[in-house]
């Protein structure tokens, strides 16, 4: 009869197999990225005429949106060629009054739209904003973003190619050093924007991130617009645009924003992304595996982005069974063979750490490696438990409620 210790070791070794698989994927991405770095810069034809742009700012009880609006008002772009749409779902009267005043001071140029319900949440607010938007190019900012003056000039340039549907920029983090939560959240974004996005750009598989990006309206409408049933409406839209044959572009210039600075806010945000992306895969599985319109490389990347959260239960189970086996085993001294076994297991399962190190190196912040490792082995493991719950709910189509990430900077605007 197998005892509990032996059983835990068996399960631990079983979880090693998918963990090694995901690790190898990350190693491959790191190697591919190294070669992508040397790729020639993108060249876009000069626009014959500057397109009219509708800048949409969806917000919910976020007075910090006032800062984003002011930044957008300073764009180095002809004032007659863009408008600002404030899609406000706020229930707070003071926030409503603060944001409404922008449209009262600049009627026609700035439009304030308020809904008395939150149907569809953010995608619902954006859908409503489209009815009031004139632009062929739609730019979206979450309320905490701080776009630079030259943002519109840069982001409209790729649309000189009529087949371009998405142009996405890189996310910076201005509150990174507040605590361990913000540091780990920033590291995750650094990995995505420094390692994954350049590869996506090379294979024409850039995902819209829901903010600090632009969409061609005609392409957006052709594929059906926002999916109000999706918790990651940006990923859902991206998959449809990619399969429709459109070109997607990543511009590697940074736009500052903030990340959640509380554990609850961070975990709930990650759970929403995990659930939403998993549902994007499940809702589009037949198209991803058998559909036409996307190349084999694009399909592989879509699979990686939408299914990578399967790693969460693997990490959680491997950690649980590893600790159980360790605690239940007879205490013995480490031998040379034990150290060798530990070393090869660590090497084969450290793909994410390798990608993180590469991202830190490329950002010239390799000195932060100890913090990255510490937060990965603490916050990262705890996060795997939360994302396992979100992943399971997505697989069994159990609803996960929408969560609007609180903005720390709101406190200074109250």
pLDDT(141) > 60: yes
How does residue 340 score in pLDDT terms, banded at 50, 70 and 90?
confident
**Measuring CA to CA, which residue among 194, 181, 223, 134 is closest to residue 378?**
181
**100: Cα within 13 Å, side-chain hemisphere:** 11
How does residue 336 score in pLDDT terms, banded at 50, 70 and 90?
confident
How does residue 333 score in pLDDT terms, banded at 50, 70 and 90?
low
pLDDT of residue 169: 98
pLDDT of residue 413: 61
**Measuring CA to CA, which residue among 194, 184, 343 is closest to residue 263?**
184
Three-state secondary-structure class, residue 293: coil
pLDDT(36) > 80: no
The residue behind tokens 């770095």 is 37
Query: How far is it, in rounded angstroms, from Cα 156 to Cα 138?
Result: 10
What single DSSP character describes residue 177?
A: G
Three-state secondary-structure class, residue 112: strand
pLDDT, averaged across the chain: 92
Mean pLDDT, residues 264-284 taken together: 97
For the chain, give the percent of residues with pLDDT over 90: 80
- Which class in CATH covers the domain with range 53-273? alpha beta
Name residues whose C-beta falls within 8 Å of residue 55's C-beta, 6 or more positions apart in sequence: 72, 82, 83, 84, 85, 139, 140, 141, 152
How does residue 39 score in pLDDT terms, banded at 50, 70 and 90?
low
Q: Where are the domains of the chain?
A: 53-273
Mean pLDDT, residues 1-10 taken together: 72
pLDDT(110) > 90: yes
Higher pLDDT, residue 224 or 13: 224
How does residue 16 score in pLDDT terms, banded at 50, 70 and 90?
confident
pTM: 0.93
Segment 370-392, tens digit of pLDDT: 999 999 999 999 999 999 999 99
Mean pLDDT, residues 159-172 taken together: 97
Higher pLDDT, residue 71 or 331: 71
Segment 221-250, tens digit of pLDDT: 999 999 999 999 999 999 999 999 999 999
Most confident range (mean pLDDT) of 27-41, 230-244, 320-334 is 230-244
pLDDT(414) > 60: no
């Amino acid at each position: 009869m197998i005892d509990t210790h032996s059983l835990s070791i068996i399960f631990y070794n079983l979880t090693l197999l998918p963990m090694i698989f995901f690790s190898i994927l990350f190693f491959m991405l790191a190697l591919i990225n190294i070669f992508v770095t040397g790729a020639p810069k993108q060249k876009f034809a000069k626009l014959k005429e500057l397109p009219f742009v509708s800048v949409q700012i969806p917000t919910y009880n976020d007075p910090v949106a006032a800062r984003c609006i002011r930044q957008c008002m300073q764009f180095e772009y002809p004032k007659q060629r863009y408008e600002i749409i404030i899609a406000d779902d706020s229930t707070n009267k003071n926030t409503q009054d603060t944001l409404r005043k922008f449209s009262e001071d600049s009627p026609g140029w700035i439009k304030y739209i308020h809904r008395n319900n939150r149907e569809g949440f953010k995608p619902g607010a954006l859908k409503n904003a489209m009815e009031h938007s004139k632009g062929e190019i739609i730019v979206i900012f979450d309320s905490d973003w701080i776009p630079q003056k030259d943002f519109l000039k840069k982001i409209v340039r790729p649309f000189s190619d009529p087949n371009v549907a998405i142009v996405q920029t890189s996310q910076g983090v201005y509150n990174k050093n507040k605590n361990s939560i913000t540091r780990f959240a920033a590291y995750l974004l650094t990995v995505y924007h420094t390692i994954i996005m350049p590869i996506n750009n090379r294979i024409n598989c850039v995902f819209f991130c829901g903010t600090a990006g632009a969409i061609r309206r005609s392409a957006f409408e052709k594929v059906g617009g926002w999916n109000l049933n999706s918790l990651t409406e940006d990923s859902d839209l991206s998959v449809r645009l990619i399969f429709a044959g459109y070109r997607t572009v990543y511009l590697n210039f940074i736009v500052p924003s903030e990340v959640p600075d509380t554990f609850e806010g961070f975990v709930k945000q990650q759970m929403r992304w995990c659930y939403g992306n998993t549902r994007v895969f499940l809702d589009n599985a037949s198209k991803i595996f058998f559909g036409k319109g996307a190349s084999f490389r694009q399909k592989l990347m879509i699979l990686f982005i939408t299914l990578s959260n399967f790693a969460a239960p693997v990490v959680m189970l491997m950690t649980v069974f590893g600790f159980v086996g360790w605690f239940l085993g007879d205490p013995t001294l480490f031998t040379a063979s034990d150290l060798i076994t530990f070393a090869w297991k660590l090497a084969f399962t450290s793909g994410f750490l390798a990608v993180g190190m590469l991202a830190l190196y490329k950002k010239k912040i390799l000195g932060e490696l100890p913090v990255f490792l510490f937060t990965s082995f603490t916050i990262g493991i705890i996060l795997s438990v939360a994302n396992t719950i979100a992943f399971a709910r997505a697989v069994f189509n159990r609803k996960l409620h929408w969560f609007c990430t609180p903005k720390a900077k709101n406190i200074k605007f109250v």
